[in-house]
């Protein structure tokens, strides 16, 4: 292995270690940190598929049998039945995305609706969408 190959190998190892550290670190506990979200739905399998396709959330079965999700960073939650959806923003949750435009397109292709398009909150890059149950959430893209 020549010096350039060794260097590339070392960089690849470091990146792998960084990626592993980023994805396996436990959530930080802090007073006041938002950590859990319950999303009302009438159809858990449909909601699971929607949110997986939109945000890539990982799902799991909890000990009580409920279907839960993890956002891959530090927030988890579950879909709940028997509770009305939240179609009118009071408390409004925003999900950080790489691209509001691309995510909006993915939402509409998968059964959601854009209820406030990109540009309304300029200079912030935000939009709002309704999931298949009508819950309204926001999208936020860092500048």
Residues 6+ apart with CB under 8 A from 120: 126, 127
pTM of the prediction?
0.77
Q: Point out the residues of the chain with pLDDT beneath 70.
A: 1-27
Contact (CB, 8 A) for 136 and 86: yes
Could you give the CA distance from residue 66 to residue 77 in angstroms, rounded to a whole number?
Answer: 10
Domains and CATH numbers, the chain: 33-141 (3.10.180.10)
pLDDT score recorded for residue 21: 36
Residue whose pair of structure tokens reads 């436990």 in the numeric block: 26
Contact (CB, 8 A) for 56 and 137: no
Name which of 110, 111, 105 is nearest 139 in CA terms.
105
Do strands 58-61 and 94-96 pair parallel, antiparallel, or not at all (unpaired)? unpaired
Could you give the CA distance from residue 19 to residue 108 in angstroms, rounded to a whole number?
Answer: 31
């Amino acid at each position: 292995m020549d010096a350039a190959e060794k260097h590339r190998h070392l960089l690849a190892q470091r990146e792998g270690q960084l990626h592993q550290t980023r994805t396996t670190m436990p959530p930080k506990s802090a007073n006041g940190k938002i950590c859990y979200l319950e999303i009302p739905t009438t159809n858990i399998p449909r909601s699971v598929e929607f949110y997986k396709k939109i945000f890539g959330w990982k799902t799991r079965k909890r000990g009580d049998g409920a279907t839960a999700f993890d956002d891959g960073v530090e927030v988890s939650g579950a879909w709940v039945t028997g509770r009305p959806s939240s179609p009118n923003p009071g408390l409004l949750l925003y999900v950080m995305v790489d691209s509001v435009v691309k995510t909006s397109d993915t939402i509409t292709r998968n059964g959601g609706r854009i209820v406030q398009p990109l540009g309304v909150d300029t200079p912030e890059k935000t939009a709002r969408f309704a999931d298949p149950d009508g819950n309204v959430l926001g999208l936020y893209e860092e500048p």
